[in-house]
Amino acid sequence: MIHGRGGAPEDMFGLAKHLALPDLAVLAPQAAGQSWWPDSFLAPLTANEPGLGSGLSVISSLLDDLSEQGFDPTRVALIGFSQGACLALEAAARLARPFRAVAALSGGLVGTGEAGGAPRADLYDRPAKTFDYAGRLADVPVLLGCHERDPHIPLARVQKSADVLQNMGAKVETLILPGAGHGIVAEEAAWLRRQLNTER
């Protein structure tokens, strides 16, 4: 479980406790300075390095450690909130392993390059990105949850992320909540319980 900007692992442990799943083991890494990278995930990639690369390395190393301990990817879910949701999605897309589930709670893909062109109003006055991922996420359940007027996560990026992940073979569900907001809601927790229930 990956915390957002200004957050801490304790925030994600709180979510795990709320899920109340008896057989759930949780790893929640800590970002240096409480932020995985300095700027918005909509910013040019160079503006967020080396933070983005470092964050992706942290997640990759944790997954490798879990694999060495006998936890193959089908037993591992990547879950993140806000900036952590962006990191979870980006790690899932770049690593392309058969995860148990991936949940981005108020987040979207960071992208792999700059598409060029003028800033777009529907991307909060940022230019578009490219999303070139080589792997597949065949049948991996993915949740993209976001308010329709999230102050940090434009709906256009959520929808683009859904399209990209579906094209990678993931089973994507979007949960777009009415109004403004930036937080985790009961419907997202219910989805996590369904996906992580060991009896399913």
Strands 126-130 and 113-120: antiparallel
Residue 161: alpha-carbon gap to chain centroid: 10
At a CB cut-off of 8 Å and minimum separation 6, what does 15 contact? 1, 79, 81, 184, 189
At residue 108, what are phi and psi to the nearest 5 degrees? -155, 170
Res 200 pLDDT > 50: no
Boundaries of every domain in the chain:
9-196
pLDDT at 87: 98
What are 22-31's contacts with CB under 8 Å, separation 24+? 23/198, 24/196, 26/1, 27/1, 27/62, 27/66, 28/1, 28/2, 28/3, 29/2, 29/58, 29/59, 29/62, 30/3, 31/3, 31/55
When the pLDDT of each residue in the chain is averaged and rounded to a whole number, the result is 96
Segment 33-61, tens digit of pLDDT: 999 999 999 999 999 999 999 999 999 99
pLDDT at 70: 93
The verdict on whether omega for the bond into residue 50 sits within 30 degrees of 0, i.e. cis, is: yes
pLDDT at 199: 53
Segment 92-136, tens digit of pLDDT: 999 999 999 999 999 999 999 999 999 999 999 999 999 999 999
Segment 12-34, tens digit of pLDDT: 999 999 898 888 889 999 999 99
Q: Average pLDDT in the 57-84 region?
A: 96
pLDDT at 6: 95
CA separation for the pair 31, 49 (Å, rounded): 14
pLDDT at 198: 60
Locate all alpha helices (DSSP H) within the chain, ordered by sequence: 9-19, 51-68, 83-95, 155-167, 186-196
Assigned CATH for 9-196: 3.40.50.1820
